[in-house]
Amino acid sequence: MSQLTQALTEVEEKLRSLLEEVNHLIPYVKALEEENIKLKRECTLPEKETERVIANAEHIQGVAHDNLERLYREGFHVCHLHFGQPLEGDCLFCMGFLRKD
């Protein structure tokens, strides 16, 4: 057997081995694709529900921001550095935090 024939035989054996691995993986890939489709269906909220959740989150953020502004006006820090401590004049950190919307 010549070197070329031997090399071709080795390539053929490697290809068979790879084809066997691919055929072995196909059922797993199909199962994962089906599970992915199922999970996407389960996780998808109806548009109306999504709008309701977004509106509720925006409302909560607005209420929280209003509460922090009220605390600051009442004389307490709302910045992470001194949260809840009494104010002694204006705090640039608090003011900067309250300007974020």
C-alpha 101, offset from chain centre: 22
Question: Quick one: 12 and 57 in the same domain?
Answer: no
Q: Which residue has the higher pLDDT, 31 or 49?
A: 31
Mean per-residue pLDDT over the chain, rounded:
91
Question: Quick one: 61 and 90 in the same domain?
Answer: yes
Question: Quick one: 53 and 13 in the same domain?
Answer: no
Question: Quick one: 71 and 92 in the same domain?
Answer: yes
Number of structural domains (the chain) is: 2
Question: Quick one: 37 and 56 in the same domain?
Answer: no
Contact 101, 65 (CB under 8 A): yes
DSSP string, 34-54: HHHHHHHHHHPPPHHHHHHHH
Question: Quick one: 38 and 54 in the same domain?
Answer: no
State percent of the chain over pLDDT 90: 73
Question: Quick one: 22 and 2 in the same domain?
Answer: yes
Question: Quick one: 38 and 53 in the same domain?
Answer: no
Mean of pLDDT values over 7-35: 95
Residue 12: pLDDT over 90: yes
Alpha helices in 1-101 (DSSP H): 3-43, 47-73, 92-99
Which range of residues forms the domain containing residue 12?
1-44
What pLDDT shows up at residue 100? 66
